[in-house]
Amino acid sequence: MIKEGDGMEWFINIALIILVIWFFYSRFAGLKGLRNLTADQFQEEMKSNPNKILIDVREPAEWKQGYIAGAKNIPLSQINQRINEIAADKAVYLYCRSGMRSKQAARILQKRGYKELSHLQGGIMAWKGRVSK
């Protein structure tokens, strides 16, 4: 026997499930137009592309632990305020600790009209090259 409030409870449960699925999809799904590069591909492109800017989107405390030479530290938390520091006419290479924040940064930049976006899959944890301090 179905109680009077069961229909609304069922609807709320379905809505919550849809919301959770959307949240995970929006955070973890690939971003159209973003190039996901392995550490080897990332390193090769850093050497071969003179028209680039390398952005480390980690927080300053993480940056101090080590960064890829030539990178500029613009934390994800500050990217909207510091977007003018990123030239729109250059290829933008992004990285973070594991690859999640760099994808979020790419999403922000893409919405602002940036076209040539790449990020380091696995972040600096996957990096095989030298790290500066």
Structure tokens at 96: 């973070």
Phi-psi region of 53 (alpha: psi -120 to 50; beta: other; left: phi over 0): beta
96 catalytic? Reply is yes
Q: Kindly name the residue from 37, 54, 76, 96 that is annotated as catalytic.
A: 96
What separation in angstroms does the CA of 99 have from each of 40, 74, 102?
Answer: 15, 15, 5
The tokens for 57 are: 């989107």
Residues forming the active site: 96
